[in-house]
Chains A and B, each alone.
Chain A
Amino acid sequence: MAQEDRELHRADNQTISENRREREALFVPRADIIETSDSLIVIADMPGVDEKSVDIQVEHNVLTIAGRVETEIFEGFQLGYQEFETGQFARQFTLSDEVDVNGIEASVRNGVLEIRLPKVESARPHKIAVRAG
């Protein structure tokens, strides 16, 4: 048996069987936050998540994003080498009073979650016209 084959089997016996016994892994998704004139945009990397497996909630000005990734099963294949685990993504952000909670919109594309949080009208910039004296 080739050296690589032995390595594969060793990885299978040690790392993976141990991982499977552990409780489901929890990950904090990396996120970018952008402020525009009329809204805040949260963009989070959640590979493996789609619109059916993502959950977004706002409660007491806390935005919670969560997503579950089912472990893929390939019939007739055995996991031989593992660098990443799948499980649950979760993260919370505290919102200011400036956010219009009722206007929040979200979408998921290619494992990236994008949430648009519109600002309440009073928090948007208003241009004040200055009259000549």
Chain B
Amino acid sequence: MFWTDLERMMGRFREQSGVRGPVQGSFDDTPTHTAADFPAVNIWNGAEAYVLTAEIPGIDPDQLDVAVVGDTVTIRGSRAPLVLKKGEVFHRVERGYGQFVRSIKLPKPLDAQKVEARYARGVLTLRMPRAEAEMPRKIALKTA
């Protein structure tokens, strides 16, 4: 079973439960957030940086890759499938595994050198400062 299958299942769950409805108006100009977008992200705006959090439980941090180019951050990773030993059987399989990749476009360019990534408790947190050249600058007025 691949991660996309999990997402379809999650989408059904979200529809049924109504607790996690699809978000209208997406960050990266796609018309709506669909269940196929994995991992789900939250984005926080600061004056000079963005913070992105993503729920990616059960990943070996070595299998998680974060890349920043311009104003776009790409999160790529995989979760290894459970391998049953002889005599073991699945009674229920709901969790997904496999590869995933998601790119998120931020409103302003980022300083790729200063991006900090932390993975704890199954949550990826990225701190992404805006590119220096793109920061708002206060212009001093000279008197004539």
Name A residues whose Cβ lies closer than 8 Å to a Cβ of B: 2, 4-5, 7-8, 10-11, 15, 25-28, 30-37, 40, 43-50, 72, 74, 76-85, 109-112
CB-defined contacts of B45 to chain A, threshold 8 Å? 8, 77-78, 80
Interface residue total, chain B, C-beta cutoff 8 A: 54
On whether the beta carbons of A112 and B122 are closer than 8 Å, the reply is: yes
Contact of A31 among B55, B88, B92 (CB under 8 A): B92
> What is the bound-complex CA distance between A15 and B137, given in angstroms?
31
**B51 with A7: CB separation less than 8 A:** no
Q: Is B98 an interface residue (CB 8 A)?
A: no
Count A-B contacts at CB 8 Å.
143
Across the interface, do A46 and B19 meet the contact criterion of CB distance under 8 Å? no
Q: How far is the CA of A63 from the CA of B105 in the complex (A)?
A: 42
Q: Is the CB of B58 within 8 A of A85?
A: no
The answer, among A25, A35, A72, A77, for a CB contact under 8 Å with B19, is A25
Tell me whether B44 and A79 are in contact (CB under 8 A): yes
With A4-B27, A77-B46 known as contacts, the answer to whether A111 contacts B57 (CB < 8 A) is: yes
Q: Contact flags (1/0) for B30-67 with A, using CB distance below 8 Å? A: 00010001001111111101110101111110000000
Given contacts A110-B121, A111-B57, 19 further A-B pairs with CB under 8 A are A4-B27, A7-B25, A8-B45, A15-B23, A25-B19, A26-B19, A27-B19, A28-B13, A30-B10, A33-B91, A34-B89, A35-B88, A45-B58, A47-B122, A47-B123, A48-B55, A49-B121, A76-B47, A79-B42
Tell me the residues in window 61-119 of chain B with beta carbons closer than 8 Å to chain A beta carbons.
82, 84-85, 87-96, 105-108, 119
